[in-house]
Amino acid sequence: MMTSGGEKKEEVSNGAVKSSTAQDYSAASASGLSKSDIETQKRLTRLLTKLHVNSNAMGGPLPEPYTQRRTARRKGSEDTTGSSQSSSSGTAGTTTSTKPDKGKMHDGRGIHTKSGVDLCDCLNVRCPGCFFPCRRCGSTKCGPDCRSNRNFLYESWETNGVPDSIVTNPLLNV
């Protein structure tokens, strides 16, 4: 923005107004910079200032809606585990719910929730684990996806190029 008297005012990111007069240009030209070099230098300074402000904005705390949703999710998960008193022995104790979550086919340890069988993803009941150790849980029974809290079952495996190599899941009918 130009004002009377040849003075140029420019707003800096923190709200302060910085003014540059013809004296600034004459001082810069004495140092050997042309007018276009000065403008380029000012433009780069403004861009760097904006980048600095934006990089700090990303490192701050999360906005309120995200925080509220996360705490609500945490409260909801605490309510589902619940605590109950055992009435058979007469002593009070906390137990976790054995009822599986809706849609979960495997529990937190990768065991099938309905049958209680620790089935390898190769669908062989006697297999001790034939995959590389899982990145998430370390089990050798997890195939491409970790079995912990997984909400699907593999129906069958088929080896490409081998006729009649389809292996079906024995736990589908359970």
**Same structural domain, 112 and 51:** no
**Same structural domain, 170 and 113:** yes
Q: Within a domain: residue 92?
A: no
For residue 30, what are the domain limits?
17-58
Which pLDDT belongs to residue 117? 92
Please state, in angstroms and rounded to a whole number, the distance separating the CA atoms of residues 144 and 32.
64
**Same structural domain, 112 and 49:** no
**Same structural domain, 46 and 112:** no
Q: Within a domain: residue 84?
A: no
What are residue 18's DSSP bridge partners?
A: 10
Please state, in angstroms and rounded to a whole number, the distance separating the CA atoms of residues 62 and 19.
36
Query: What is the number of structural domains in the chain?
Result: 2
Q: Within a domain: residue 75?
A: no
Which structure tokens are listed for 24?
């600034």
CA within 13 Å, CB half, 13: 11
Q: Within a domain: residue 30?
A: yes
What's the pLDDT tens digit per position in 116-136? Answer: 999 999 999 999 999 999 999
Q: Within a domain: residue 138?
A: yes
**Same structural domain, 115 and 52:** no
What predicted TM-score, i.e. pTM, was given to this entire model? 0.41
**Same structural domain, 42 and 109:** no
Which structure tokens are listed for 116?
């209680």
**Same structural domain, 103 and 168:** yes
Whether the CB-CB separation of 112 and 171 falls below 8 Å is answered with yes
Q: Within a domain: residue 149?
A: yes
Q: Within a domain: residue 169?
A: yes
Q: Within a domain: residue 137?
A: yes
Nearest 10 degrees: Cα torsion 54, 59, 60, 66: 110
**Ordered per-residue pLDDT tens for the chain, 174 residues:** 545 555 455 554 445 445 454 555 555 555 677 888 899 999 988 888 777 554 445 555 555 665 666 677 777 665 544 444 433 433 343 333 445 456 788 899 999 999 999 999 999 999 999 999 999 999 999 999 999 999 999 999 898 989 888 999 998 887
